[in-house]
Each structure stands twice: as C-alpha cells, then as structure tokens.
Chains A and B, each alone.
Chain A
Amino acid sequence: MNAIIISAFMGVVMMFSSWGTSSIKLQRNIGLLGMLLLIGANIAHLTGVWVIEFDTKGMLVFNRIGLYANTILFVLTFIYMWINGEEIDKVGDHTHTADYYAIFFFILCGVSVLTSFDNLLMLFIGIEILSIPLYILTGADKKNLFSNEASLKYFLMGAFSTGILLLGITFIYGATGSFHLTAPVINPTTNMPVEHFLMSAGLILLFVALNFKVSAAPFHFWTPDVYDGAPTVFTSFMATVVKAAGFIAFIRVFEIQREALGYSWFIILPFVIVSTLLVGNITAVFQRSVKRMLAYSSIAQAGFMLFALYGRSIFNNEAILLYIVAYSLATIGVFAVLVKMKDYSFESFNGLAKKHPALALLTTIFLFSLAGIPLTAGFFAKYFMLNALLTAGAGLWLLIVAIVFAAVSVFYYFRLVQAMYFTSGEPAINEIDKKYEFKLWLIAAILIVLGVFPSLLFNYLYF
C-alpha cells in the first residue's frame, strides 16, 4: 500500500509544485527526491519496517515478487529521470516539466496497483491509471502533428483494448460469480481443470487485451506508430517501465488461470510468441530509422518475455525480473544516446566511434545486451528465459525458433555498431557533457556486473 499512496501523493505534489516555484531545476529535483522517497517507502514495505495497511477485502495482495518488481521498476524510473532530466524539459518548450513528473508518478501508481492486484476490477483500474497519463505523454509535443496522431491512435486503440478487457472480466464474472483471481475448478476424477465455456471465452478476451498492452503480435499494430510519434524521451519510458508493468500484470493473471484454458493455452501462447518474434525481428531488419527499429525491437523482445508465461517453472520469476532489468536498462541507454542525435537515421551514427569513442563503446554495450551477447545482462536474461521455457515443458522447436530469431536480431542491432565503428562520416550529434556520459557509464556498469553475476539481482527475491 505504501507505494500506491506515496506515488499518488507525489503526483499531486508535483502538479502543484509548478505553482510554488517556477524554477525548472527545483521541480526536477523535487521529482527525483519524490522518486527516492517512493523507493524508500516501497523498500520499507518489502522489509516490513513500515507498512501502511488498509483492509482491501483481498482486492490487493502484496507479495514478495510484486513488491520486488515494484522496487525494480521504481529504480529504473529513477535512473530514467536522472539521465533524461534535461531532455524531458525540452519537450513542449520548457514549460511543463512539473506536469510530466506528475504524470510519471501517476503512472507509477498504476504500476503499483498492477503488481499487487488480486481482483480483476483492480486490474482494470490499474491499467486505466497507467494508460490515461500515457496518452497525454504521447501527445506532449503539442505542436508536432506526428505526436498528436500517435496520441490519438494510442488512445483509440487503447480504449478499444480496454473494452475487450472489460468484456473478458464480465464473462469471467458470469462464470465464477466473483472478480477474484481464483484457482480453476479441478475435476476430481480426471484431475484436469473443468472447462467452462464462459470462463475460457473471458480468459481469451483478457489474453487478447493484455497482449495489446504489451504489444505482442498480432496485436502490435499501434506500437511502431506510437513509439515513433511520441517524443523520444517518453518512448524510452513507455518501452521499458510501462511495458514491464504490463508483463507483471500479465503474469499475475495467467500464472494460475492459464490452467483453466487446458490444452488450448499451449496452442494460443506459442502462436502469439512465434508471431511476435517473427513480426518484430523481421520488420526491424528493414527499418531505416533507428527509433522505428527500436520500436520493432521492443516487440521482438516482448516475444522473449512471453516465455515466462508458458508453464510452471522454478525459473519464471527470475527470468522475467532479470529480463525486465536487462532489457529496460539497455533500452533506456540506447534511447539516451538517440535523443542526442540530430536525426534518427542509421547514417547519422556514421563515424561516431572516431568522434566520441566512449559514447560509441557505451552504445555498443547496450546493443550487445539487447542482442544477448555474453558478459552483458542480456545474455543471462535470454538464458533464464530459455531455461524457464524448457523446464516448463515446451517443445524443443519453440526454443530453436527463439534462438534463430535471436540471431536475426543481431542483424539490426549490429547495423548500428557497423555504422559507428566501420563507416566513416560525420555523426549528426549534439554536444554531450561529461556528466551525461558518466550516467551512461553507470548503466553500462550495471549491465556488465549483472552479466557476470546475475545472482546479485535475485538475492533479495527470497531473503
């Protein structure tokens, strides 16, 4: 409960802070302090030092995984804010900084609901709290038509998928008479779950709606346009923290409920996984703009994250958490470099290694992590996912499809490496100061440390 209350409170504080002070720097610092407060409050809950308790009638259940996921997502948001502070100011002519931070906190409130709901109504509320501020962020660049278009598109598609979500919840209520996430009814003679038509239909609608949110194919069509149209700093946030929260919610719903779908789960999920990997990877290869390539790459990475849903495995939690950290940090890093570019074509990176060797090396580390090369966290993220998939009983063919697409992903990530190192040219990049570079080094250091000792992340999961 700590995180939900503090984040909502901080959102309000940020809204009013633009009345209290006109100094953008101060507003930014209040935001960062608020973030630290939020992280602190959440850790206090996790360790049981200080807990605000309400009787939610079991609508919210705070377990260790959820709270730990909270901590990770908050820390990621903090890193994101800390690095991108100046770029966030720039969106909309330096006048709305406090508003953006308020929106971030409201989104985090939605995130905290999504990591702790045990009731489908709460799922709905969480998703709405998360989504509505996002529509605003997407359209934050008010004078840019692409940003407006993206915002409208996102809103319409998002509203549509929420409709499907609600329909699914209604069906499930019709079948069970309750909004609670309950274990499926087991037939004592066959030891298999009893299939109930309304329940199955409802779960499949829920599945579709959640796939929308995490942009898995064939429900991904909004993603490239929205990610491309939104201001680049905000794309970075949407593709990382928001997407990760979507996955946590997805897993919370289907961790147990998938069993109610019986065998059909093992048809629809692999179908979604394979089509997501196919669409994301193959389309990313043909992109001309780095930003659009990253949008498709985020679809492709979602395909890998879906592995954690497949079945029961002791590695599921580790896999999804590590994947979230590795993918988000690397993506935040690449976007942090991208916002400094004057245009987003691959050609604008030509010769970056000559002009900014350090920046080129950093970008390479981020891209290596996304591609899953050893010594970066991305490798162990992919490793744990494959391991989870295999121990959950998936066929070998699915793993082979996955790694073939992992190899395809090298094509588009390395195109950027090739542009930076092996093609000569004048990179179209804005000035970058040492402080900014230092922040990026920090991300790279985390990626490499987790790439050698991934266990560091899991120590707090159980103790």
Chain B
Amino acid sequence: MFLLLFLLIPVFAAILLLFVKKEQSVNTIAISAALVTLLGAVYIIISKTSSFDAAWLPLLNSRFTLQADGLAKILVLLTAISFPAIFIATSKNQPTQKNIFLSLMLLTQAGLMGVFLAGDALLFYFFWELALIPVYFLCSIWGGEKRIAVTFKFFIYTFLGSLFMLIGIILVYSHTGDQSFALASFKQAHLTSGMQLTAFALFFIAFAIKMPIFPLHTWQPDAYEQSPTAVTMVLSAVMVKMGLYGVIRWLMPLFPTAFIAHSNIVTLLSVIGILYASFIAIRQDDLKRLIAYSSIAHIGLMNAALFSHIQVGVQGVLVQLFSHGINVLGLWIVADIIEQQTGTRSMKDLGGLAKKQPTLAILLVGFAFANIALPLTNAFVGEFLMFNGLFQFNPWMAAAAGVSVILAAIYTLNMVQKIAYGEISAATNLMPAPNKNAQGVLIVLLVIVFFTGVYPQPLFNVTADTLQQLFVK
C-alpha cells in the first residue's frame, strides 16, 4: 500500500497545481510534494522489501502489482532525490505558466516511479509510455528554437521502440504457463531459443533507443540541447536509466540464452558508442551538448558492463545507476546557473568564473572530478567495478573502453579550464549575485558524491538482493 504513495503524491500535487496560479505557492506545492516523496523513498530504503497488489484486468490476468526490490529501490531513491533538487535549483527560473510546467514535471515523476516499481509487464508498458507524454509537452512548449521538430523526432523514436516492446510482451505472454503478465510468470515462460531471440530483439530495441545505444542515439543530443534545462535534467539523470533498468529487470532474467548470445555484438556497439560520443564531446563548444555526449559515453559503458554479464561488472552498474544520476544532475545544475546568469552556453564566451563566483567554480570542479571518475568520488567505485567486469569478459574491449576515461578527462578538464579560469569574460561579468538555492542543492549533491565515493557499502547493501537473484540460481 505504501508504494502506491509514490504514484499518488505526485499525481495529486500535479492536479492541485492546475488550479494554483500564484508563483510562490506553486513552488511551495511542487517542492513539498517532491520532498514528501523523498522521505518515502528514504523510508523504503531502510525498511524491508514491500509490495502492493490489486486486481486490474481480470480478463487478461494482468494485475496492478508494485514491488520494491533493490534495483527498484535505488532508482526510486534517485528519482526522489532528483525532482526536489531540480525544483529547488530552478525555482528562480520563470517559465510561462509555471504551474502547468511543474504539474507536467510531477506527472513525469509519477510515470517514472511506476516504471521502476511495476511488477507486471503490461503495467510496466503502461507507465513506460506515460512517462513520455508529459515530457513531450514539456519539451515542445518550453524548449529552444528547434524544439518542435526535435521533440517530435524523440517522441517517434521512443514510441516506435516501445511498440516493438509491446509485441515482445504479447509474444512472451502467449507463452506463459498461466497466461499472466506477472514478472514471475514471465520468467518461467516456455520459450524456444528461436522465440527467445525474437522476443529479446523486440524488447532490446525499446531499451536501446531509450538509453540510447549507438547507432540509435541520434535523437539525444538535439533533444537535450533543445529541452528546457529542468527537463534535460530529468531526461539525463533519470529517464535514460529506464533503458538500463529494463535490461536488468526484463532482458537478463527473461531471455538468458539470447542475452549471452548477443553479448558480444551489443558490447561492441556500446564500446563504439562510448568512443564515438567521447570524441564528439571533445569538439563541442556548447555546454549542454558537451554534457549530453558525455552522458552517452557513460551510459554506453554501463550497458557494455551489463552485457558482459560478469557479476562484479553488474554490481558496478547497479551502483553507477545511482551515482551517474547524481553527477550528471550536478553538472546540469551548474550549466543551468551559468546559462541563466550569463545568457550563453557557448564556452568560448565564458571564462573567469573562479574569480567572479568562486563557490560555483569549486562546485563545478567537484562535479567535473566525479564525471572523470577520480578516486574518492562515487563514479570511481562504479566505473572501477564495471571495467573489472568488462576486462574479465574481453580485455580488448575493456582497453578500448578505457580510452574513454582519458577522453573524459580531456573534455571535462577542458570545460573547467574554459569556464572557470582565464580572464573574466564579458558574459561572466554580467553574472549577478550567486543563486543561493541552487548552490545549496549542489552542496548537498556534492556531499552525496563524496560520501558514496568513500563509503559505498550502503549502495551495495541495497542492491544485494537483485544481484543475488541475477547470478545465484
């Protein structure tokens, strides 16, 4: 029953917001709803595994099942941290019709929570699509210049992908013993190996588009660049995790044979994607595009580690799911402050931030270190484990992917150099007083970065049960 709150609180707050116009109360409602959700997330992390189950579609034998195991918990926690952080950090931004903006954001949150908690395939599909709809409107209404075409491309890509998944779901459903959509029945479906390959492909297309994996990534940099930054934060911190989550939750347990059979090709594609995105990131001048490509590279590494199917690598992914979200969120918030205060995202127009706003510069450097995965930061833990797994799978691939760490250092440090050091540029000089709200959020996030970097054991503990299910038969 408790899990239902993760859906109900955001939805109720979203409906309430439609009727509130006053700026101050709009912010208060959104932030408090998000904070209450965060409290709930913290509660389920420390409590035992819980679940919720109710009849939904008796005809199809589909039930409204929500369940929180380690994988779900860690992503729920990430979602629950991200939204209040985004709301507080961007509370000074003034989109038109802010109440509707925040209302759609909260609906997105509800959709994401549903995706991570669903224990029934049809319900999972339902939320998978529902998370997309508000984002479509958010990006198309409040986005940049080319928003309509770019968002439409994003929408069509993901919609087509999820339709493939729907066929996959129907296919597996028709082979379950008890004609049910429950995750447990799906795991025991009698699929021939040929059927497994087909169903695997159908599911994988949806996840690969969402992550995205090279060569299906073309929607992403444009979408990240054109979306309002608050939405970009949701997209890259939480929404891309839907793809990885889908792989861990559905692909690995449902189609073990097909999963192993495809591991080489998918890992190879991921490694190509990592290098490709890293090289492009080096050439970027636009701050948002740089972070977007850097994010493709990081997600590619996580996918490669997943498909290597080595326990230690998967353990790394489970931790990194959370860490990457926190890090990239921090980077986006810094980018948003810079854009809001200077009016530009072009790095060649920026410079001297360290002199103008030293606190912000320090925070930027902190998140930059996390992006490169230096020791003591949370990303180091995850990436170390992932490379370890990838190395056991295939040393050459690990070596090729390892180049990306160097490349990450190049583009991230280059970014820090251009933004923080040098003479104070004209654009930087325009910056008003520091944005206290956003900086407060950044400090909290940075504390999480270093805390989980030094003492990651809590994250391992939370995800232990998922790992055990995947690897201990």
**Contacting residues, chain B, for A455 (C-beta < 8 A):** 57-59
Which residue on chain A has the smallest CB distance to residue B165? A403
Knowing A373-B129, A374-B126, A418-B140, the reply to whether A386 touches B156 (Cβ < 8 A) is no
Interface residue A442 (Cβ < 8 Å from any Cβ of B): no
Task: Tell whether, in the assembled complex, residue B160 and residue A404 are in contact, meaning their CB atoms are under 8 Å apart.
Answer: yes
Interface residues of B in 101-145 (CB under 8 A from A): 125-126, 129-130, 133, 137, 140-141
Knowing A418-B148, A422-B140, the reply to whether A407 touches B156 (Cβ < 8 A) is yes
Give B134 Cβ to nearest chain A Cβ, in Å. 11
Knowing A390-B174, A391-B174, the reply to whether A396 touches B198 (Cβ < 8 A) is yes
Interface residue B276 (Cβ < 8 Å from any Cβ of A): no
The distance in angstroms between the C-alpha atoms of A410 and B152, with both chains bound, is 10
Q: Name the one of B130, B141, B166, B174 contacting A421, with C-beta atoms under 8 angstroms.
A: B141
The distance in angstroms between the C-alpha atoms of A411 and B155, with both chains bound, is 10
The distance in angstroms between the C-alpha atoms of A359 and B155, with both chains bound, is 23
**Contacting residues, chain A, for B140 (C-beta < 8 A):** 418, 421-422
**Contacting residues, chain A, for B58 (C-beta < 8 A):** 455
Task: Tell whether, in the assembled complex, residue A374 and residue B125 are in contact, meaning their CB atoms are under 8 Å apart.
Answer: yes
Task: Digitize A406-422: 1 where CB-to-B-CB distance is under 8 Å, 0 elsewhere.
Answer: 11001100100010011
Knowing A374-B129, A421-B140, the reply to whether A403 touches B59 (Cβ < 8 A) is no
Task: Digitize B169-196: 1 where CB-to-A-CB distance is under 8 Å, 0 elsewhere.
Answer: 0110110000000000000000000000
Q: Name the one of B147, B156, B163, B198 contacting A411, with C-beta atoms under 8 angstroms.
A: B156
**Contacting residues, chain B, for A375 (C-beta < 8 A):** 126, 130
Q: Name the one of B59, B147, B164 contacting A458, with C-beta atoms under 8 angstroms.
A: B59
Give B192 Cβ to nearest chain A Cβ, in Å. 13
**Contacting residues, chain B, for A173 (C-beta < 8 A):** none
Q: Name the one of B57, B133, B148, B164 contacting A454, with C-beta atoms under 8 angstroms.
A: B57
Interface residues of A in 281-329 (CB under 8 A from B): 318
Q: Name the one of B125, B133, B141 contacting A422, with C-beta atoms under 8 angstroms.
A: B141
Interface residue B279 (Cβ < 8 Å from any Cβ of A): no
**Contacting residues, chain B, for A175 (C-beta < 8 A):** none
Task: Tell whether, in the assembled complex, residue B152 and residue A386 are in contact, meaning their CB atoms are under 8 Å apart.
Answer: no
**Contacting residues, chain B, for A383 (C-beta < 8 A):** 166, 170
Knowing A407-B160, A414-B155, the reply to whether A396 touches B59 (Cβ < 8 A) is no
Interface residue A428 (Cβ < 8 Å from any Cβ of B): no
Q: How many residues of A contact B (CB 8 A)?
A: 28
Interface residue A183 (Cβ < 8 Å from any Cβ of B): no
The distance in angstroms between the C-alpha atoms of A406 and B163, with both chains bound, is 8
Q: How many residues of B contact A (CB 8 A)?
A: 28
Task: Tell whether, in the assembled complex, residue A399 and residue B130 are in contact, meaning their CB atoms are under 8 Å apart.
Answer: no
Interface residues of A in 42-99 (CB under 8 A from B): none
The distance in angstroms between the C-alpha atoms of A379 and B62, with both chains bound, is 15
Task: Tell whether, in the assembled complex, residue B166 and residue A410 are in contact, meaning their CB atoms are under 8 Å apart.
Answer: no
Interface residue A159 (Cβ < 8 Å from any Cβ of B): no
Which residue on chain B has the smallest CB distance to residue A403? B163
Which residue on chain B has the smallest CB distance to residue A452? B56
Task: Tell whether, in the assembled complex, residue B170 and residue A318 are in contact, meaning their CB atoms are under 8 Å apart.
Answer: no
The distance in angstroms between the C-alpha atoms of A383 and B155, with both chains bound, is 20
Interface residue B399 (Cβ < 8 Å from any Cβ of A): no
The distance in angstroms between the C-alpha atoms of A454 and B174, with both chains bound, is 19
Give A329 Cβ to nearest chain B Cβ, in Å. 20
Interface residue A176 (Cβ < 8 Å from any Cβ of B): no
User: Residue among B56, B137, B166 with the most chain A CB within 10 A?
Assistant: B166
Knowing A374-B130, A454-B57, the reply to whether A407 touches B159 (Cβ < 8 A) is yes
**Contacting residues, chain A, for B125 (C-beta < 8 A):** 374
Interface residue B167 (Cβ < 8 Å from any Cβ of A): yes
**Contacting residues, chain A, for B56 (C-beta < 8 A):** 453
**Contacting residues, chain A, for B155 (C-beta < 8 A):** 410, 414
Task: Tell whether, in the assembled complex, residue B163 and residue A396 are in contact, meaning their CB atoms are under 8 Å apart.
Answer: no
Task: Tell whether, in the assembled complex, residue A399 and residue B160 are in contact, meaning their CB atoms are under 8 Å apart.
Answer: no
Knowing A403-B163, A455-B57, the reply to whether A422 touches B129 (Cβ < 8 A) is no
Task: Tell whether, in the assembled complex, residue B167 and residue A399 are in contact, meaning their CB atoms are under 8 Å apart.
Answer: yes
**Contacting residues, chain A, for B156 (C-beta < 8 A):** 407, 410-411
Q: Name the one of A318, A400, A410, A421 contacting B159, with C-beta atoms under 8 angstroms.
A: A410
The distance in angstroms between the C-alpha atoms of A373 and B155, with both chains bound, is 12
Give A375 Cβ to nearest chain B Cβ, in Å. 6
**Contacting residues, chain B, for A407 (C-beta < 8 A):** 156, 159-160, 163
Give B420 Cβ to nearest chain A Cβ, in Å. 37
Give B261 Cβ to nearest chain A Cβ, in Å. 19
Give B293 Cβ to nearest chain A Cβ, in Å. 27
Give B114 Cβ to nearest chain A Cβ, in Å. 11
**Contacting residues, chain A, for B167 (C-beta < 8 A):** 386, 390, 396, 399-400, 403
Interface residue A18 (Cβ < 8 Å from any Cβ of B): no
The distance in angstroms between the C-alpha atoms of A410 and B171, with both chains bound, is 24
Task: Tell whether, in the assembled complex, residue A386 and residue B159 are in contact, meaning their CB atoms are under 8 Å apart.
Answer: no
**Contacting residues, chain B, for A387 (C-beta < 8 A):** 170, 173-174
Which residue on chain A has the smallest CB distance to residue B149? A418
Give B156 Cβ to nearest chain A Cβ, in Å. 6
**Contacting residues, chain B, for A318 (C-beta < 8 A):** 59
Chosen A-B contacts, 22 in total, with CB atoms closer than 8 Å, are A373-B129, A373-B133, A374-B130, A375-B126, A386-B170, A396-B167, A400-B164, A403-B160, A403-B163, A403-B167, A404-B160, A404-B163, A407-B156, A407-B160, A411-B156, A418-B140, A418-B148, A418-B152, A422-B140, A455-B57, A455-B59, A458-B59
4 A-B pairs with the lowest CB-CB distances in the bound complex, closest first: A403-B163, A407-B160, A374-B129, A374-B126
Known interface pairs A374-B126, A379-B129; 20 further A-B residue pairs with C-beta atoms within 8 A, sorted by A's residue number: A318-B59, A374-B125, A374-B129, A383-B166, A386-B166, A386-B170, A387-B170, A390-B171, A399-B167, A399-B170, A403-B163, A404-B163, A407-B163, A411-B156, A418-B148, A418-B152, A422-B147, A422-B148, A455-B58, A455-B59
